[in-house]
Structure 1
Amino acid sequence: MQMEAGEDKENEAPAGRKKDTQPRFYSIFYRKAGGQVETRGEVSPAQGTGPPARPASKSTRASALAGRQTGDGLEQLVIDAGQRQFGVITCSTCAVVYTIGDPEDEALHARHHTGYLGALAFPGWKREREVGHYMDGRVVMVTPRDAAHAWRKVDSVLRLVDAELGFVGVGVRNKEQSKVFFYVVERQIVGCLVAEPVTQGFAVLPRDDSTAVRCDTAARPCVAGVSRVWVHRDYRRRRLATRLLEAMRNHFALTPLGWPDVAFSDPTPDGLQFAAGATGSQQFLVYNQ
């Protein structure tokens, strides 16, 4: 009993020593070397009462994270606190995939989203060619004789269109003879069609059980080639692509073009279905651009 009392006295803090009034912070996700997670009653060894440590650099944090990821994979890196949106999502406007709550991801998405909307903005031009007017929008045509600002808008829009369709560095190959058609809704471009001169195309043959597309080896003469057709995801299934195609047939040449005069370039599966529906035939013309 005397030894225990002596030990208690030794453990008592001296009367003159000030109590440690600096608050202690408890690490929720700190993992010990042995792999056990601390409880809320335990203080992290990394958290002392000394001066605050300098924030770690990005490279230091990245290397530390890489080191933690080599364990059992039980690290919780994002807190679910009942947010309305949580985790990885896809923007319905610009189609960018990013993580809600990640500052770097959100900043990248904000920059891309702003550029996307800026590229599709269309306040109107003093000299513009309106070749189609509908209840929900209108079709504007850009020709080789138009001003430089019109073709700069074409280039900015096609950068987004090509990225979505999977083209790399295509743009408009022959601006001296090509025409571009925009579908405009409330000062925003929501559809685009690029037409270029083509002298010959090849008829699509009826498809068999395979998924490959077969074409006739005999070339057929034609006048116009549809290089690309694009409609914004929020405006699809509204016949906007059909209206763009009709505007192209009526205004690409001096006289309206028939379907035998039009060819489609390297159509995707969706493009094949669209071309067949628009032309009313499974044997429409295609060409390789």
Structure 2
Amino acid sequence: MQPKINSFFKPPPPPPSSSPVQSSNSPPVLSDGENDDLAIWEKTQHTFVNTYTRRSQIHGNDAEKESSDKRLEKPIPENESSREESGLRGKNLGKKRSYAQFHLELGQSDFLLRTCLICGLKYSPGDEEDEKGHSKFHKNFTLGIKFKGWKNERVVHIPEVEGSRIIMVSDADPVTHRNKVREVLNMMEIELGEGWIYNKLCKVYLFVCSQRIVGCLVAEPINEAFKVLPCSVGERQAGAAAAKQTKSKSSKLQFGELVLQREVVKRGTSKKSSENHTGAVLCEKEPVSAACGIRAIWVTPSNRRIGIATQLLEAVRKSFCMSFVIEKSQLAFSNPSADGQALASNYIGTASFLVYK
């Protein structure tokens, strides 16, 4: 093999010299045929070194050239291109990407969300986490918030219901007590509105039954209130005029040549409907003295109509003032709703109960 390589790199023969005398600078000429030519070519410093070992690391332009060749040979996958782009932006490629679905609420009537008609919570049907959260909240709203009790409870009243008690909490009590009160107030605000139920002067009464808080009353000290008028003369006159005007109207309806006779059906009115409370309250102008104001009262939906609100009012009368028991006539209610008016009139025993601002 070596003779063939040597013959490939064999230089052309030197031109014949006119003089047999050789110069001092030129290399000596040997007369051994093929080996002589190789010796002359080696002395001219034409040496080639061939390396066939593969290097472990490639640096510089060779690395760029080799990586570009590999890219041309193999197609670039999508994850590789995304890694290069994210690497240029300085992101950490070791972490897994997380994706979340967001929704835009632009006033749609039903956009993957349902509103519970009882507890008022919005949730997404089919979503396991949403359904669990709604189930837990719905149970606390309808049955009451779970409550195992405290070591230092201020029990102010023991109702007739077995296994129940009423606890009073003030602003000076420990943080854990106030946090539980805040949790109950959040439930009350769903039906009664936000931002007005509680202040630092209030005392909170919690009705506990079967390790759940099923009712709450918020009371505050007041000095005066106004007596409610059961029915004003103006309302009676207006109602009579409206009834007379209704009777004067014709009972026939005419559409061109077609005449229809209107049939009037009289409905019997019960005693309860005659005493209907519309929510509007008319009071006397002159204030009267009062000792305690019922700021808000609330009972869980599944425990209403069984006397829990009445028991809370009794606990307030007996424990709000340490020195004496408050008379029913000294209790005042803050802007009562229709249900609140019915409760106040039934508990006080008259429609002329007290209200305050």
Tell me which interval the TM-score lies in, with the shorter structure as reference length: 0.5 to 0.7
What code does the residue aligned with 2:299 have? V
1:215 to 283, 291, 302: 283
Secondary structure of residue in 1 paired with 2:210: coil
What is the percentage of aligned positions where both structures have the same residue?
Answer: 36
CA pair 271-259 structure 1, distance change in 2 beyond 3 A: same
1:232 to 292, 296, 300: 300
Higher helix share: 2
The Cα of 1:132 is off from its aligned counterpart by 1.8
> Which position in structure 2 is the counterpart of 1:7?
none
What code does the residue aligned with 1:249 have? R
Q: Residue 132 in 1 paired to residue 201 in 2?
A: no
Residue by residue over 1:235-272, the C-alpha shift from the partner in whole angstroms, topping out at 9 and shown as x without a partner, is: 00100000000000010012100122110001001000
CA pair 102-272 structure 1, distance change in 2 beyond 3 A: same
Q: Is the 8 A contact 1:89 1:100 kept in 2?
A: no
- 1:280 and 1:181 map into 2 onto residues whose CA distance is 23
TM-score by length of 1: 0.62
The Cα of 1:109 is off from its aligned counterpart by 2.1
CA pair 148-102 structure 1, distance change in 2 beyond 3 A: closer
The Cα of 1:141 is off from its aligned counterpart by 1.2
Matches within 5 A, 1:17-166: 58=101, 90=116, 94-96=119-121, 98=123, 100-101=125-126, 106=131, 109-110=134-135, 112-113=137-138, 120-133=145-158, 134-136=160-162, 137-165=164-192
Q: Residue 252 in 1 paired to residue 276 in 2?
A: no
Q: Is the 8 A contact 2:146 2:212 kept in 1?
A: yes
Matches within 5 A, 1:151-190: 151-165=178-192, 167-173=193-199, 175=200, 177-190=201-214
What code does the residue aligned with 1:189 have? I
Structure number with larger C-alpha Rg = 2
CA pair 271-141 structure 1, distance change in 2 beyond 3 A: same
List gaps (5 residues or longer) in structure 2. 1-98, 240-277
Residue by residue over 1:149-191, the C-alpha shift from the partner in whole angstroms, topping out at 9 and shown as x without a partner, is: 21221122112112221x2222421x2x421111001111000
List gaps (5 residues or longer) in structure 1. 1-55, 70-76, 79-86
TM-score by length of 2: 0.51
> Which position in structure 1 is the counterpart of 2:335?
266
Runs of 4+ in structure 1 off by over 6 angstroms are: none
- 1:274 and 1:119 map into 2 onto residues whose CA distance is 21
What code does the residue aligned with 1:193 have? L
What code does the residue aligned with 1:247 have? A
- 1:58 and 1:116 map into 2 onto residues whose CA distance is 29
The Cα of 1:115 is off from its aligned counterpart by 7.6
Q: Is the 8 A contact 1:179 1:196 kept in 2?
A: yes
Secondary structure of residue in 2 paired with 1:139: strand
Q: Is the 8 A contact 1:159 1:171 kept in 2?
A: no
CA pair 111-123 structure 1, distance change in 2 beyond 3 A: closer
The Cα of 1:199 is off from its aligned counterpart by 0.9
The Cα of 1:112 is off from its aligned counterpart by 4.2
What code does the residue aligned with 1:160 have? M
What code does the residue aligned with 1:123 have? K
The Cα of 1:118 is off from its aligned counterpart by 12
Residue by residue over 1:171-220, the C-alpha shift from the partner in whole angstroms, topping out at 9 and shown as x without a partner, is: 421x2x42111100111100000000111111110134574321111111
- 1:118 and 1:235 map into 2 onto residues whose CA distance is 7
Q: Is the 8 A contact 2:144 2:300 kept in 1?
A: no
Residue by residue over 1:31-63, the C-alpha shift from the partner in whole angstroms, topping out at 9 and shown as x without a partner, is: xxxxxxxxxxxxxxxxxxxxxxxxx9847xx79
- 2:339 and 2:115 map into 1 onto residues whose CA distance is 25
